[in-house]
Amino acid sequence: MLNRSYTSRQELEQHTFSPLVTLFVPLLAIFLQAFVPKLLPRFSLLDLPLIVVLFFAVSRRSPIAGTLTGAVIGLLQDALTNQPIGVNGMAKSAIGYVAASIGLQVDVESPLTRILITFIFSLINSVLLFLIDHRLLGLPDYHLFWGHELIRACANTVVAIPIFFLLDYTKRTE
């Protein structure tokens, strides 16, 4: 006779990370995002902290942890870049929350799902940054160019997939 388990998806696939990985990976992403574009201007097309927020949010599958991860990473990114403090913090908090909520419902281990999530959330991040800068802060010189944002989303997606697979090796199942 077939024995079925009614354990929730969240209980089965929630992952944790060592404190070293939890600290080192976001700091490395923020450091690279803050300093490498000064040497290689094309690197500014990528948003490594966004990729890290997405990975940790969908892996932990906890909206609270996703929100806090996004807030901390976003605020640290703001502190090291020329953005007003809180802009990336607000955007990445919202993305961390929604990504973790989606991670509860969808198989986020699939490469196709990871591609879609990264591409879509990269576009959402651009829209959130535009809304925060243009509407909330009233900065009239901030414009959204859809062609550029689509290229940015594609670049983030191409870079995110190998990063996700590398970070998969750091997961610990609860």
pLDDT tens figures, 65-105 = 999 999 999 999 999 888 889 999 999 999 999 999 999 99
Task: Give the tokens for residue 161.
Answer: 């997939």
Averaged pLDDT for residues 19-23: 92
pTM value surpassing 0.85: yes
H helix intervals, the chain: 9-13, 19-39, 48-60, 63-80, 87-105, 111-130, 146-168
Among residues 84, 95, 66, the alpha carbon closest in space to that of 153 is found at: 95
> Which residues, in sequence order, are CB contacts of 165 under 8 Å at separation 6+?
none
Handedness of CA 129, 133, 135, 140 (dihedral sign): negative
Per-residue confidence (pLDDT) for residue 7, from 0 to 100: 44
pLDDT score recorded for residue 49: 97
**How many residues does this entry show for the chain?**
174
Residue 19 predicted with pLDDT over 80 = yes
